[in-house]
């Protein structure tokens, strides 16, 4: 029999999309079943400014990211009051940052914004990178198709 160690943590990566809302709901249910902490992680990065246009204040990107994370965390706490929830704002390439957090958890859950049909068979770039490079369980939740 293989013994599975539990770290007592389920990490969910969010981005404000309907797919990440579904991923959050799935992860919250899984954390409840496992009696684990639900860690809501939002990774922000500076945009690629290859066109040489106007550059906003760099701290505006972080403030916007923090505002989204706070909103999602508040909604999760209201929806899952018995669940221990932690929120973490990370900066950097999303896949890399989520892989680092996933190493500290039992699993990582993310949403994928598939486009339906043939392209819907493909994962988004972040979820694809996670599935191919993570050394721990990754769950990818797809948004419902319209």
In a domain, 3, yes or no: no
Report the predicted TM-score, pTM, of the whole model to 2 decimal places.
Answer: 0.85
Using CA atoms, how far apart are residues 101 and 32, in angstroms rounded to an integer? 19
User: What DSSP line would sit under 56-93, residue for residue?
Assistant: --HHHHHHHHHHHHHHHHHHHHHH-TTS-EEEEEEES-
Domain assignment present for residue 74? The answer is yes
Cα separation of 30 and 33, whole Å? 5
Residue 87: name the closest of 29, 43, 129, 127 by CA. 43
In which band, very low, low, confident or very high, does the pLDDT at 142 lie, cut at 50, 70 and 90? confident
Domain housing 114: 9-142
Residue 1 maps to a domain: no
Over residues 15-58, the pLDDT tens digits come to: 999 999 999 999 999 999 999 999 999 999 877 655 555 555 66
Q: Which CATH number is 110's domain given?
A: 3.40.50.12370
Total domains in the fold of the chain: 1
Q: Strand 85-91 relative to strand 107-112: parallel, antiparallel, unpaired?
A: unpaired
Question: What average pLDDT does range 83-90 have in this prediction?
Answer: 97
């Amino acid at each position: 029999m293989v013994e599975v160690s539990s770290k007592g943590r389920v990490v969910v990566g969010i981005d404000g999309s309907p797919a990440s809302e579904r991923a959050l709901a799935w992860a919250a249910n899984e954390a409840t079943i496992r009696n684990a902490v639900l860690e809501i992680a939002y990774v922000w990065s500076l945009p690629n400014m290859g066109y040489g246009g106007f550059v906003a204040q760099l701290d505006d990107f972080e403030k916007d990211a923090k505002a989204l994370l706070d909103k999602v965390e508040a909604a999760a706490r209201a929806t899952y009051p018995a669940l221990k929830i932690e929120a973490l704002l990370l900066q950097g390439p999303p896949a890399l940052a989520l892989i680092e957090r996933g190493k500290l958890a039992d699993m990582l859950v993310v949403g994928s914004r598939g486009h339906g049909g043939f392209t819907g068979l493909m994962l988004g770039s972040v979820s694809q990178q996670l599935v191919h490079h993570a050394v721990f369980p990754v769950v990818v939740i797809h948004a419902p198709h319209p």
